[in-house]
Amino acid sequence: MTRLAPLISDFLRDNMPRQRGYNPSSCETYAYSFKLLFAFAANRLGIRPSQLHIEQLDAALILEFLACIEQERGNGAVTRILRLSSIKAFMRYLEYEVPSALEQIAQIRAIPTKRYDQPVIQHLTMEEVRAILNAPNLTTRLGLRDRAMMHLCFAAGLRVSELVGALLTNLSLQRMPNLLVQGKGRKERSLPLWKETVTDLRAWLAVRGNVHAPEIFVNAEGTAMTRAGFEYILDKHAGKAAKTCPSLRGRSISPHQLRHSCALIMLQATRDIRKVALWLGHADIRTTETYLRMDASRLKRASRRRYDAGGSKHPTRSSLPCWKMSLRRRALHRRIT
């Protein structure tokens, strides 16, 4: 039987970061998936994770693991798909390292991706966003940091990883303020900043102090802000804002809802889904099309145009140019005759 430990170590330490160029955050996500899998397999087989063999990770055990994370851990279908994709990536690596397990690997790679319902994405209105941004105490250093951090996350439509990893050297507050962001797939994009966001960033940088961390936002100890730290800050101020904004009461506000809110506002302002995709750093525009289902104003305009084209007896905005053209043609015909 083939020992699992040296193969998974080589996959996470050499194949992913060095040969395939994965980001450290992606490697950590994959490593966490295998941590859950190996703990489940070791518990099911009654051995330690270091004693696992490749042949023991068959398709039946993988299916039991996927069912376990849904039923016992309460994970959704999206998390299940993420764990399964990590396992399949490792199996593709094993095809060349352990040829004797090709049949077993093929069975695992044949496990289908589970389909799931896609509800409308939750987002915040401008009134709710303002209530959250106004919640921090701006007379304190941490209050200035919290407002600047939440404002930048919303205005730039950043992912949490992009926000906490934003470097001070990539921020320019001069004539044309902008922030250079490195998103998924190591794709960089330069985002212009709103005047209000620049004001909050300058207020934070004035009290940031001389810390050694290269990131824009740091915690109370002077080290880089973490994902969990920002989630805690946003949840704290959302709870405070709920006292003055009734629509926030009883709701769980996640950092990604700030990103969704920015995307919807941009879509309503530009009416161009391609610009929204570029702003958010989406590699596939089909990901951005999700926001089309959120924008009720677009559906209202589309239904109005359809009604005007099919059942209206009077000239409307959509039919007015053709109506004017027909009058001009009639007047020209009278002149000629």
Q: Is 291 a catalytic residue?
A: yes
Burial classification of residue 269, based on how many CB atoms lie within 10 Å of its CB (0-12 exposed, 13-18 middle, 19 or more buried)? exposed
- Compute the C-alpha angle 28/32/33, nearest 5°: 120
Phi, psi (rounded to 5 degrees) for 136: -65, 150
Catalytic residue among 184, 227, 240, 298: 184
- 307 counts as catalytic: no
Q: What's the CA gap between 157 and 181, in Å, rounded?
A: 11
The CA distance from 44 to 335, in Å, is 93
Q: 22, 30, 93, 291: which is the annotated catalytic residue?
A: 291
48 is catalytic: no
Give buried/exposed letters for 281-293 (b at 16+ CB in 10 A, else e): bbeeeeebeebee
C-alpha 49/C-alpha 21 separation (Å) is 27
Contacts of 56 (CB under 8 A, 6+ apart): 1, 4, 41, 45
Are the C-beta atoms of 216 and 168 separated by less than 8 Å?
yes
> CA–CA separation, 101 vs 2, rounded Å?
9
User: Which residue in the list 53, 141, 251, 256 is annotated as catalytic?
Assistant: 256
**Pairing mode of beta strands 188-192, 178-182:** antiparallel
Beta-carbon contacts of 90 under 8 Å, excluding residues fewer than 6 positions away, are 8, 11, 30, 34
Q: Is 53 a catalytic residue?
A: no
Do the Cβ atoms of 139 and 90 come closer than 8 Å? Answer: no
Catalytic residue (choose from 145, 151, 159, 208): 159
Q: Which of 145, 208, 237, 282 is catalytic?
A: 282
- Please give the structure tokens belonging to residue 195: 């005047």
Told to judge if 271 belongs to the known catalytic residues of this protein, a careful annotator would answer no
Would residue 314 show up in a list of annotated catalytic residues for this protein? no
User: Could you list the active site residues?
Assistant: 159, 184, 256, 259, 282, 291
